[in-house]
Amino acid sequence: ALTGWLVRNHRDAAEAARLRAEQTALLAEMDRTQAVTSERARMARELHDMVANHLSAIAIHSTAALSLDDPKTSREALSVIRENSVEGLAEMRRLIGILRDSSGDTAPVAAPTLN
């Protein structure tokens, strides 16, 4: 009877340890998933903010370039438009590259340039 009781206690302790390990692994996976989700949301906000900023500047300067008859001012506006489009594209590529690296996506991507 004592041997049976010891074996049963040992099995119960082993089962409890296994359940604790499963719960710990599940909690760790949930934490990892939440961290990835929050980081992606942060990066999406950053990407949106940067692209919106560059596109707003492009819209404003293109309106100025179209509405003015002064070639020098139009040329300056077009220069700012080009600069903002190149910077916006570079920032977008940088953040998308980070997202691809973290997702494991290794497919080659065509990368057009404005340079």
pLDDT digits (tens, 9 = 90+) for 1-33: 889 899 999 999 999 999 999 999 999 999 999
CA distance 72 to 112: 29
Residues of the chain with confidence (pLDDT) below 70: 102-115
Residue 40 lies in a domain: yes
Which two three-digit tokens encode residue 18? 């296994």
**Are 64 and 73 contacting, i.e. CB atoms less than 8 angstroms apart?**
yes
State the maximum Cα–Cα separation within the chain, in Å, rounded to a whole number: 103
pLDDT at 24: 96
- Domain assignment present for residue 115? The answer is no
Give the domain extent around 48.
Answer: 2-103
Q: Which two tokens stand for residue 79?
A: 């220069």
User: What's the domain count of the chain?
Assistant: 1
Residues found in the chain: 115
> Is residue 33 in a domain?
yes
Tell me, yes or no, whether 111 lies in a domain: no
In this prediction the pTM is 0.52
